[in-house]
Structure 1
Amino acid sequence: MSRELPSLNALRAFEATARLGSVSRAAEELSVTHGAISRQLRVLEEALQQPLFTRQGRGITLTAIGEQLRDRVTTAFDQLRDGWSELRRPGNDSPFVLGCASSLLARWVIPRLDRLERDLPMLRLHLSPEEDPLSPQRAEPDAALALAAPPWPAAWQVHALAPERIGPVVSPRYAGLARLLGRDESVLCDEALLHTTSRPQAWPEWAQASGVPAKSLRHGQGFARLFYLLEAAVAGLGVAIAPEQLVRDDLSAGRLLAPWGFRQTSASWILATPRRRNDSRVDSLATWLRNELNSN
């Protein structure tokens, strides 16, 4: 029996398709066309004389032979990636790349950066702003700090740091503050609420946890990023919804008020690392982040 290997491009196309569960997403990740991926998959199926995928509704599923090939190819590609990473980064003297959404970076990480670098001098942290650092289309960092809800991406090992708690916040400078103070949460049904289009479920999720009918809430000015939303709240433009840790410094300084407290959501602060990567610095960073996030 011939021991000749199929095309590496064909195996790469198959690995991406099997991992992502989509020809289109595999094509996007590999920066090729949908047709190019389909052709590479046909090369493998013709060589094996068996189908690797079957159609299921609008999606695809692996056949039995496809699952066997996936397991072998995934192991081989993981070993290649690990070996390449070791060659590129010979030790812990290399910078540690932390992916992080820009709002978390600006509002939480940067104000603590001096303390982090002092406490973990071996880390040599390099910050990489990414709106979705866990996305498979992004360059893979050493770790990603994120606010996310399960299920977690299969390719990442997740270190839970702290539960997310969200609540309405408002500046003492807000012109309508007097009519809000001393009232229960239902008073917000009469407000044009500031919100962020990057997380449209935040207000409804808080409303459900607070016993307020979500349909009774009324959205006012929207902002593309959470960072802009919170700056608008500090400027006194209205009532915003915010994760507690991102506004803790503003609450302590009196720049913002949280008259109705905070409610826990299904999301968590997490530190995620690629499953195939083993870096001893991750545990130290996760411990430091967990302590900071859970401190009062």
Structure 2
Amino acid sequence: MSRDLPPLNALRAFEAAARLGSLAAAAAELYVTHGAVSRHIKALEAELGTALFQRQGRGLALTPAGHRLHEAAAAAFEPLRRAWAGLRGAGETPLVLGCPGSLLARWMIPRLERLKADLPGLRLHLAASEGTPDAALTGLDAALLIGTPPWPPGWQVHRLGDERIGPVVSPRHPAHARLAGAGPEALLDEPLLHTASRPGAWPEWARRNGLDPAALRLGTGFEHLYYLLEAAAAGLGVAIAPQELVQADLDSGRLAAPWGFVETGGEWALCTRRGDTGPRVAALAQWLRRELHA
């Protein structure tokens, strides 16, 4: 007779290996041998009749079946870890908040002193990441994101505010004076700075301004928004960004936004696993919402 659930020890070994990307690291975390972790995973694979991992260089990569099982395992183990920590009196552990590196550097870090003053009882551990976290929010208690719904169905989403994006240019840009006095169509003649993390930002802005996205000329690209905006501030071209992430630069005159900002249909959101909302998350969501609308 087949079992309804996998063996718990085997599932723990698999979840640790999937989360850490290494059999050796999983063995160290679980205080067992490398061979024990390997045998547990092979037992699961034999019972399922399919591979859960494949070799990728020196590390491991999950197969499609492995991804599916890891999402389910992480969703089960993470609440257990938090509940166990609370029962052991670890209720004062930091709240692990993930957010994209550019958002962390340009928006959260400048506000940390105010956050500590306003919410003195909240201990935060900030984890920089790029891209959207996995559906289980593995390793995180919450994530601060700018994105477009729908969000994963297993998330509890605290909507904080609308996303607004717009082009920004430095007074150091050789064509700043000409561009600042022209309409949005002037940007069709400019090689535009862009970022791989938001490939749809320029086309979305163009559509919202009645321009043909196909007519845009993309220039230098950057992996992260932070570098994109530093290049714009150095006068290397016109960039595009969420208003809140460049507001300090606009206030200081380091950047200008001659064409303003438009809503994208996206939103700022604080996301947790569904059912995980507690007083710390509720207080943080309220504070973030207030900061965005300040």
**Where does residue 232 of structure 2 map in the other structure?**
233
Given that residues 169 and 241 in structure 1 are in contact (C-alpha distance below 8 angstroms), is that contact kept between their aligned partners in structure 2?
A: yes
Q: Quick one: distance in 2 between partners of 1:29 and 1:172?
A: 46
Amino acid of the structure 2 residue aligned with 1:230: L
Q: 1:276 to 1:183 in 2, by over 3 A?
A: same
> 1:44-193 to 2 correspondence within 5 Å?
80-87=80-87, 90-91=90-91, 93-132=92-131, 134-136=133-135, 139-193=138-192
Kindly provide the CA deviation profile for residues 166-223 of structure 1, in whole angstroms up to 9, marking residues without a partner as x.
Answer: 0001111111112212221111000010111121111011111111110110011111
- Deviation, 1:90, is 2.8
- 1:243 aligns to what? 242
Give the distance between the partners of 1:213 and 1:2, measured in 2 at CA: 58
Where does the alignment leave 5 or more consecutive residues of structure 2 unmatched?
Answer: 24-39, 50-63, 66-70
1:40 aligns with one of 40, 44, 48 = 44
SS in structure 1 at match of 2:180: coil
TM-score normalised according to structure 1 size: 0.75
Distance 2:269 2:93 in 1: 23
For the residues of structure 2 that align with 1:201 and 1:127, how far apart are their CA atoms?
Answer: 27
Provide the rounded CA distance (Å) in 1 between the counterparts of 2:202 and 2:251.
23
Which residue in the other structure is 1:284 paired with? 283
Q: SS where residue 241 of structure 2 aligns?
A: strand
Deviation at 1:224, TM superposition (A): 0.9
TM-score (norm 2): 0.76
Change (3 A) 1:279 1:137: closer
Letter in 1 for 2:232: A
8 Å CA contact retained: 1:158, 1:272? yes
Task: Report the AA paired with residue 229 of structure 2.
Answer: L
Mean Cα deviation higher: 274-283 or 131-140: 131-140
For residue 266 of structure 1, report the CA deviation from its aligned partner.
2.2
Residue equivalent to 2:206? 207
Relative distance call for 1:86 and 1:99 in structure 2 (3 A) is same
Q: CA 1:6–1:127 in 2, change beyond 3 Å: closer, same or farther? A: closer
Counterparts of 1:273 and 1:181, CA distance in 2: 41
Matched to 2:208, the amino acid is A
After superposition, give the CA deviation of every residue in 1:16-62 in whole Å (9 maximum; x if it has no partner): 8xxxxxxxxx99558489xx9796376379xxxxxxxxxxxxx89xx
Residue 272 of structure 1 and its aligned partner are, at CA, apart by 0.8
Compute the displacement of 1:88 (Å).
Answer: 5.9
- Give the equivalent residue in structure 1 for 2:223: 224
User: Which range moved further: 237-246 or 138-147?
Assistant: 138-147
Q: Aligned partners of 2:195 and 2:151: how far apart in 1?
A: 23
Cα deviation code 1:111-156 (max 9, x no counterpart): 1111111111111222111123622586422211111111212332
Q: Secondary structure at the match of 1:135?
A: coil
- Structure 2 CA distance, aligned partners of 1:4 and 1:164? 45
